Amino acid sequence: MRSRCALVILVLTVVAAHPGTTPAAGLAEPECTDALDPQAALRAGIAYDTGVGAAQDFVRAAQCYRRAATAGIAQAQFNLGALYDNGRGMPRDAIQAAHWYELAAAQGDGRAAYALGLMAETGDGVAPDRAVARKWYAMALAEGIAAAKTKVEQLDRASGAMSGSSSQHGDGNGAPTFKDAAGHRCRLVQSPIIVEGRLETALATECRDKKGRWVLTGPSPQP
Amino acid sequence: MTTLRWFHLIGLVGALGACAQHSESPSAAAPPAAPPPSTGATTPPAVEALYVYFDADSAKLNKQAEETADHAARLYREGNPHVMKIVGHTDATGDELYNLYLSARRANAVKAALVARGIPAATLELQAAGESDRVAPEAKEDPQDRRAVITWR
């Protein structure tokens, strides 16, 4: 029984190890330099990442994803973010993860937006900010991530409950407020902004208008 | 061709499992199906696993289970050609057939949670193990048995 099993395993191992026509086949151990076509770099990255068509190697996967990600491919940006997020092939780096997720989200990647919502909610790699988290979840929902609906509702409920019990901050955002030169009630928030066509998150000032609504008024005051 | 190759890999894992089952003496145990991560050319990629735990007689994801689903969604890279496997389990209290259905509902609930997080449904494969694969077979009511296990490469 054992020897027959060993034989079966041997045969299957040989068959399984035989290189097939997987996306990366033919790319004999490609070095993902800037010279490589971005789409080819993405395919090579997935091959190294998942071990299909190449021996699994997260360091090379990251290198290939980076080549494709810097060329603007959203999938590669998300995947590179995920490698940083999960510490595959490198120590976990939430700041780098958020950076690459943001680039992917700016191109409409719903999964990246959802991950950013989670990160903003817990303050992982970005400043903790429920308002920003809600914006990311709303974007993820718009991009077809159904799970984001519950998240938006939860944040809305929490924010509604807080505004009912706390009169200090008005709407439960939790950020301390101050008065600007004109006497408006203002606060600092993390806000998604577009910089040279890319979505970034930056500290911004929000002040109440005459009707009591929060309106973004500009970047944060320099210390 | 990729699919065919996958078939072989699944066959390999299956063969290893079969050998392990039929081995009577401890010395005849088959090598583990999941070797440690290695860059060797012929070793299969490392298997990752996440455990989703359920309340007794429930197939509804609780808060902790939702967080595990969030974690899984962040681990899953776009374009991954591998099949992600979800196996539902139950403890041994109650009717065996009922438990088989309960384990199927648990696997399904995890699938729904992952699809809702943008993981393509086509890459998910479900299995219902019922009460057949308990952590500690002598214990009938172990909370660790009320689980679904997500594995992928």
Q: How many domains does chain B fold into?
A: 2
User: Across the interface, do A46 and B37 touch by the CB < 8 Å criterion?
Assistant: no
Angle at alpha carbon of residue A101, lines to A96 and A103, rounded to 5°:
100
**Read out DSSP for B23-61?**
--SGGGPPPPSSPPP---TTSPPPPEEEEEE--TT--S-
Residue located via tokens 């992928």: B152
- Look at residue B8 and tell me if it is in a domain: yes
Reduced 3-state DSSP string for B68-118: HHHHHHHHCCCCCCCCEEEEECCCCCCCHHHHHHHHHHHHHHHHHHHHCCC
ipTM of the complex: 0.71
User: How far does the CA of residue A173 sit from the closest CA of chain B (Å)?
Assistant: 23
Task: Please tell me the predicted confidence (pLDDT) of residue A177.
Answer: 75
Which run of H or of E encompasses A200? strand A198-208
Count of CA atoms in the C-beta half-sphere (13 A) of A126: 30
Residues B88 and B133 in one domain: yes
For the segment A86-143, what is each residue's pLDDT rounded down to a tens digit? 999 899 999 999 999 999 999 999 999 999 999 999 999 999 999 999 999 999 999 9
Cβ burial, residue A204 (10 Å; 0-12/13-18/19+): middle
B5 against A200, higher pLDDT: A200
Instruction: Select from A22, A85, A81 the least CA-distant residue to A56.
Output: A22
- Look at residue B69 and tell me if it is in a domain: yes
CB of A175 closer than 8 Å to CB of A189: yes
User: How far does the CA of residue B124 sit from the closest CA of chain A (Å)?
Assistant: 16
Nearest CA in chain A to B17: A5
Residues B63 and B130 in one domain: yes
User: Across the interface, do B42 and A13 touch by the CB < 8 Å criterion?
Assistant: yes
- Look at residue B102 and tell me if it is in a domain: yes
**pLDDT tens string for chain B (153 positions)?**
344 444 343 333 333 333 333 333 333 333 333 333 444 445 677 788 999 999 999 999 999 999 999 999 999 999 999 999 999 999 999 999 999 999 999 999 999 999 999 999 999 999 999 999 999 888 888 999 999 999 987
Residue-number span of the structural domain to which B13 is assigned = 1-35
User: Across the interface, do A49 and B82 touch by the CB < 8 Å criterion?
Assistant: no
Residues B22 and B54 in one domain: no
Q: Which residues of A touch B79 (CB under 8 A)?
A: 42, 46, 75, 79
Nearest CA in chain A to B16: A9
Residues B68 and B114 in one domain: yes
CB nearest A147 (choices: B8, B28, B116): B116
Task: Please tell me the predicted confidence (pLDDT) of residue B75.
Answer: 93
Average pLDDT over residues A183-212: 70
Residues B140 and B66 in one domain: yes
- Look at residue B70 and tell me if it is in a domain: yes
Residues B6 and B65 in one domain: no
Q: Is the pLDDT of residue A48 over 80?
A: yes
User: How far does the CA of residue A223 sit from the closest CA of chain B (Å)?
Assistant: 36
Residues B67 and B19 in one domain: no
Task: Fill in the DSSP letter of residue A99.
Answer: H
- Look at residue B52 and tell me if it is in a domain: yes
Residues B64 and B5 in one domain: no
For the segment A69-79, what is each residue's pLDDT rounded down to a tens digit? 999 999 999 99
